[in-house]
Amino acid sequence: MNISDWRVDYDKYKLDASSLNHDPILQFKDWFAQAKVDGHDEPNAMVLATCGNDMIPDCRMVLLKEIDDNQFVFYTNYNSHKGKAIAENPNASLLFYWEKSQRQVRISGVLKKGDADKAKAYFASRPLNSQISAIASPQSEEIELETLFKNVENILDSNQIECPPHWGSYYLKPFKFEFWQGQPGRLHDRITYQNEQENWIIKRIAP
């Protein structure tokens, strides 16, 4: 398979440091809103990268559910592979890629667990099938398909559907952002925000 000549021209928007918001959270919200306008079905889809004690980086897609107190919130099973890695090393990175906008945002920060009562309230608001799967699945553990279906059947029979204690939110408090805007000739715009003593330092870096 030869994909060496597969290229896309980037020419949709420009990124000028003089027009940026001095608050990266507000800048992110501006780009997120534009991603919705540009027709992305799931603009809240993001890559979560973690690295536990084994020092092997790992990444997966998760969904941003909220920006609360300037922190990025997602929900998951605390006993999952990602949950175990976060327990060992709370440093993590997020990546948003909006193809139709020719933009990406990289965010580095530190994760902590969110409030359990808030997680229960959000859990109750999810579609029933999503609630059941969160209870039935020992996420990241080896399992036979028949066993998984049996777990679902047992939950339906018991009619006991409530938020498991091992399921909840993580809050990522960012200390670095990079906003990337594709440009012609691969001279892409890249602007970073680095938190230094509670101040955001803005820099342009080379493509």
Q: What is the DSSP string of 173-193?
A: EEEEEEEEE--GGG--EEEEE
Residues 6+ apart with CB under 8 A from 94: 46, 47, 48, 49, 64, 72, 105, 106, 107, 109, 172
Strands (E), the chain: 45-51, 57-63, 66-68, 71-77, 91-98, 103-113, 167-181, 189-196, 199-204
Confidence of residue 161 (pLDDT cuts 50, 70, 90): very high
**Catalytic residue positions, numbered:** 186
Does the model's pTM come out above 0.85? yes
Can you tell me the distance from the alpha carbon of 9 to that of 43, in angstroms, rounded to the nearest whole number? 21
* β-strand partners of 201: 194
Q: Are 40 and 50 in contact (CB under 8 A)?
A: no
Question: How does pLDDT run across 69-114, given as a tens digit for each residue?
Answer: 999 999 999 999 999 999 999 999 999 999 999 999 999 999 999 9
Question: How does pLDDT run across 64-78, given as a tens digit for each residue?
Answer: 999 999 999 999 999
Q: What is the pLDDT of residue 160?
A: 84
Average pLDDT over residues 9-25: 93
Q: What is the pLDDT of residue 7?
A: 85
In the block, tokens 């960012």 appear at 174
